[in-house]
Structure 1
Amino acid sequence: MSGLEEAERVELTVAAVAPGGHCVARVDGQVVFVRHALPGERVLAEVTEVHRGFVRADAVRVLEAAPDRVTPPCPYARPGRCGGCDLQHVAPDAQLSWKAAVVREQLVRLGGLTEADCDALGVRVTALPGGPLGWRSRVRYAVDAAGRAGLLKHRSHEVVPVDRCLIAHPAIQELPVLAVTGANWPDAEAVETVASTGGDVAVTAVATGSSHRVSGPERVRERAAGREWVLPTSSFWQVHPAAADTLVDAVLELADPRPGERAWDLYGGAGLFAAALAGRVGGTGRVTVVEAAGDGVAAARENLRDLPAVEVVAARVETALARRRVTGPVDVVVLDPPRTGAGKRVVRDVVAAGPRAVTYVACDPAAFARDVRVFAELGWRLVALRGYDLFPMTRHVELVGLLTPA
Structure 2
Amino acid sequence: MPTESESSLVGAEYEVEVGPVAHGGHCIARTEEGRVLFVRHALPGERAVVRVTEGAEDSRFLRADAVRIIEASKDRVEAPCPFAGPGKCGGCDWQHAKPGAQRRLKGEVIAEQLERLAGLKPEDAGWDGTVMPAPGDKLPPGEVPGWRTRVQYAVDEDGRIGLRRHRSHEVEVVDHCLIAAPGVSELGVEHRDWPGMASVEAIAATGSGDRQVVLTPRPGARLPLVELDRPVSVLRVDEKDGGVHRVHGRDFVRERADDRTYRVGMGGFWQVHPQAADLLVKAVMQGLLPRKGDMALDLYCGVGLFAGALADRVGEQGAVLGIESGKRAVLDARHNLRDFDRVRIEQGKVEQALPRTGITEVDLVVLDPPRAGAGKNTVRHLAGLGPRRIAYVACDPAALARDLAYFRDAGYRCRTLRAFDLFPMTHHVECVAILEPADKGV
Q: TM-score range by the shorter chain?
A: over 0.9
Give the Cα separation in 1 of the matches to 2:360 and 2:342.
Answer: 16
Q: CA deviation at 1:21?
A: 0.5
Check whether the contact 1:204–1:212 (CA below 8 A) recurs between aligned residues: no
Give the Cα separation in 2 of the matches to 1:211 and 1:293.
Answer: 13
Check whether the contact 1:358–1:403 (CA below 8 A) recurs between aligned residues: yes
Q: CA deviation at 1:295?
A: 1.4
Alignment partner of 1:363 is 2:367:
no
Give the Cα separation in 2 of the matches to 1:292 and 1:31.
Answer: 40
Q: CA deviation at 1:174?
A: 2.8
Alignment partner of 1:185 is 2:189:
no
Distance 1:213 1:89, change over 3 A: farther
Cα deviation digits, residues 27-65 of structure 1 (max 9, x gap): 122211110001110111000111622111100111111
Q: Please state whether the residue corresponding to 1:16 is helix, strand or coil.
A: strand
Distance 1:215 1:167, change over 3 A: farther
Match for residue 33 of structure 1 among 15, 18, 38: 38
Give the Cα separation in 2 of the matches to 1:347 and 1:71.
Answer: 44
Alignment partner of 1:146 is 2:158:
yes
Cα deviation digits, residues 187-230 of structure 1 (max 9, x gap): 22110110011111121211323656677643211110111122
Q: CA deviation at 1:306?
A: 0.5
What residue ranges of structure 2 are gaps of 5+ in the alignment? 1-6, 138-143, 218-238
Match for residue 294 of structure 2 among 261, 275, 279: 261
Match for residue 47 of structure 1 among 40, 47, 52: 52
AA partner of residue 197 (structure 2)? A
Match for residue 385 of structure 1 among 404, 417, 438: 417
Name the counterpart of 1:353: 385
Check whether the contact 1:7–1:46 (CA below 8 A) recurs between aligned residues: yes
Name the counterpart of 1:66: 73
Give the Cα separation in 2 of the matches to 1:56 and 1:229.
Answer: 42
- Aligned ranges 1:142-291 → 2 under 5 Å: 142-178=154-190, 181=191, 183-197=192-206, 198-207=208-217, 208-209=239-240, 217-291=250-324
Identity %: 52
Give the Cα separation in 2 of the matches to 1:115 and 1:334.
Answer: 22
Give the Cα separation in 2 of the matches to 1:389 and 1:202.
Answer: 26
AA partner of residue 171 (structure 1)? G
Q: Please state whether the residue corresponding to 1:360 is helix, strand or coil.
A: strand
Distance 1:156 1:76, change over 3 A: same
Give the Cα separation in 1 of the matches to 2:247 and 2:39.
Answer: 40
Q: Please state whether the residue corresponding to 1:334 is helix, strand or coil.
A: strand
Alignment partner of 1:10 is 2:42:
no
Q: CA deviation at 1:231?
A: 2.2
Match for residue 301 of structure 1 among 334, 346, 354: 334
AA partner of residue 394 (structure 2)? A
TM-score, normalised to structure 1, is 0.95
Give the Cα separation in 1 of the matches to 2:250 and 2:22.
Answer: 41
Check whether the contact 1:201–1:216 (CA below 8 A) recurs between aligned residues: no
Match for residue 344 of structure 2 among 299, 308, 311: 311
Distance 1:387 1:333, change over 3 A: same
Match for residue 328 of structure 1 among 352, 360, 367: 360
Give the Cα separation in 1 of the matches to 2:122 and 2:389.
Answer: 24
Name the counterpart of 1:130: 136
Distance 1:311 1:211, change over 3 A: closer
Alignment partner of 1:77 is 2:84:
yes
What residue ranges of structure 1 are gaps of 5+ in the alignment? none
Distance 1:214 1:125, change over 3 A: farther
Check whether the contact 2:319–2:342 (CA below 8 A) recurs between aligned residues: yes
Q: CA deviation at 1:376?
A: 1.0
Check whether the contact 2:124–2:414 (CA below 8 A) recurs between aligned residues: no
Check whether the contact 2:302–2:324 (CA below 8 A) recurs between aligned residues: yes
Give the Cα separation in 2 of the matches to 1:124 and 1:401.
Answer: 14
* Aligned CA-pair RMSD: 1.6
Which moved further from structure 2: 143-152 or 264-273? 143-152
Q: Please state whether the residue corresponding to 1:260 is helix, strand or coil.
A: coil
AA partner of residue 336 (structure 1)? D
Give the Cα separation in 1 of the matches to 2:186 and 2:95.
Answer: 22
AA partner of residue 405 (structure 1)? P
Give the Cα separation in 2 of the matches to 1:113 and 1:369.
Answer: 8
Give the Cα separation in 2 of the matches to 1:133 and 1:115.
Answer: 28
Q: CA deviation at 1:175?
A: 2.4
Check whether the contact 2:263–2:303 (CA below 8 A) recurs between aligned residues: no
Give the Cα separation in 2 of the matches to 1:177 and 1:56.
Answer: 33
Check whether the contact 1:266–1:317 (CA below 8 A) recurs between aligned residues: yes
Q: Please state whether the residue corresponding to 1:156 is helix, strand or coil.
A: coil
TM-score, normalised to structure 2, is 0.87
Report the number of matched residues. 399
Name the counterpart of 2:437: 405
AA partner of residue 187 (structure 1)? G
